[in-house]
Structure 1
Amino acid sequence: MSDMQDTLMIGTEGIKKTILHGGTGEIPKFITGAKVSFHFRTQLCDDERTVIDDSKRVGTPMEIVVGNMFKLDIWETLLASMRIGEVAEFWCDTIHTGAYPLVSKGMRRIAEGKDPVDWQLHTCGMANMFAYHTLGYDDLDELMKEPKPLYFVMELLRVHQPSEYNRETWAMSDEERLKVVPVLHGQGNKLYKQGRYEDATQKYKEAIICIKNVQTKEKAWEVPWMKLEKMANTLTLNCCQCLLRMEEYYEVIEHTTDIINQHPGTVKAFFLRAKAHGEVWNEAEARQDFSRVLDLDPGMKKVVKKELAVLSMRMEEKNQEDKTKYKGMF
């Protein structure tokens, strides 16, 4: 049976496989959602076998999620023929290698610590390429102009079945994303109560990413979009509560101001911004925000009164400190 697998694999048009180092165990199942870790080396079919990319040089293995529309789907086919620990060399004809330069560019940008998609944000990736005729790397531009057969040397490290790891948010469907939001929200709240503000912020941010992913598919300012926007804002304000505790006051002012500019009736945004302003001695701004809170929600009267008393006390203390500090100067 096992030898059959290897020869079956070669049944894919335009691929030849040579095993360089045998692996162990059965061939793992490649089901949708499985996460595959592997090292790869890409080489030209020239006399020098010129290396184009090598994940070992970068130092971290490559990871893909099966069925997640990875641009170079032939890699799934190659890896699915391998055992754990196996090293194999695949010769792939041009029909399979056309997308390689684009994929390589993304991987190189990640390795350089850049966002792999920022170059695609402004215009669609393909249009960009035709506009500039360049991917930013000479060797990839060559391959783009004239696709060639390539050698891929693969080493299969691990296959995690979907149940074995928490599926990262980018590997989820929209439905799953929305289901996971309240879970993350709850985890964040629990961590906040335990005083683990940094960890809570991470959970809230993960939930926001899920929402924003779904939101991009809706029409801006229409009902479904607004519902998602409201959810995202609630989570952002929860982040701000953590940031207040972490004494990141300017960050709080920035986030709450963004929300206020878009949604001027958000009471909690004014309240948190007022508190942050108070912490960095912006008395006038703090008072103005607290009075907006009262306009929007008169029920907050007691809380605001208490906050204003604290603010007055703090300003008084600061003025005393400043007086003594400057007294010695004159």
Structure 2
Amino acid sequence: MKKFKLDGNALFNSNKCHEALQKYQKALIYYEYCFDAVDSEKRELEQVRLRCLLNAAACTLRLESYKQCVEFCNEALEIDDKNPKAFFRRAKARRLLNRHDLAKRDLKRAVELTEGGKKCTDIQREMMLLQQCEEQYKQTTMEFAQRAIGGSSSEDNN
């Protein structure tokens, strides 16, 4: 399991996200079907599983498989419901799926769980992107509504 994770990390760092995702998925399958460990080993393996899920989520973001990213993050949060990376990655995927309210909630949770550093900068950048998306969505919706109202009134005059 650890070998698949390490291989996945090397592939991810070489920007081979599809291949890296396959390695992380193999590690996750290996975990599900091959381990009947004692409690101390289970805790360690659960942490490796968590890292594989988070890394798989990062791969799916790069591969633009946003629904799959949300699923990996959901699984990661079942293991550690206070993991800021899982909330951050799920928020990013949800923003890209136009699920702005859910993304905003995840980002707020990530901020609560993060104490400064690079993660916080990434979170702040993601919050700005989310706000821009929301503003663009409102503008597009307003323009559409105006065209719809304007279109029906011009047809009534003909």
Q: TM-score, normalised by structure 2?
A: 0.81
Q: Secondary structure at the match of 1:329?
A: helix
Cα distance in structure 2, aligned partners of 1:281 and 1:288: 13
Shift of 1:272: 0.8
Contact 2:50 2:79 in 1 (8 A): no
The Cα RMSD (Å) is 1.9
**Equivalent pairs, count:** 147
Q: Which of the residues 118, 121, 132 maps onto 1:313?
A: 132
> Per the alignment, do residues 196 and 325 of structure 1 end up closer, same or farther by CA in structure 2, a change over 3 Å counting?
farther
Shift of 1:229: 1.0
Which structure features the higher share of helix residues? 2
Q: Secondary structure at the match of 1:233?
A: helix
Other-structure match for 1:30: none
Q: Which of the residues 89, 100, 106 maps onto 1:283?
A: 100
Cα distance in structure 1, aligned partners of 2:103 and 2:94: 5
Q: Which of the residues 35, 40, 61 maps onto 1:244?
A: 61
Contact 2:56 2:72 in 1 (8 A): no
Contact 2:77 2:83 in 1 (8 A): yes
Uncovered stretches (5+) of structure 2, i.e. residues with no partner:
150-158
Cα distance in structure 1, aligned partners of 2:78 and 2:26: 23
Q: Which of the residues 32, 42, 45 maps onto 1:212?
A: 32
Shift of 1:209: 2.5
Other-structure match for 1:203: 23
Per-residue deviation, residues 146-168 of structure 1 (Å, max 9, x unmatched): xxxxxxxxxxxxxxxxxxxxxxx
Identity of aligned residues (%): 24
Q: Structure 2: which amino acid aligns with 1:200? A: A
Pair member with larger Rg: 1
Per-residue deviation, residues 255-289 of structure 1 (Å, max 9, x unmatched): 21232134212221111111111112222221221
> Per the alignment, do residues 325 and 191 of structure 1 end up closer, same or farther by CA in structure 2, a change over 3 Å counting?
farther
Cα distance in structure 2, aligned partners of 1:303 and 1:259: 19
Contact 1:240 1:272 in 2 (8 A): yes
Contact 1:252 1:272 in 2 (8 A): yes
Q: TM-score, normalised by structure 1?
A: 0.41
Cα distance in structure 2, aligned partners of 1:322 and 1:253: 26
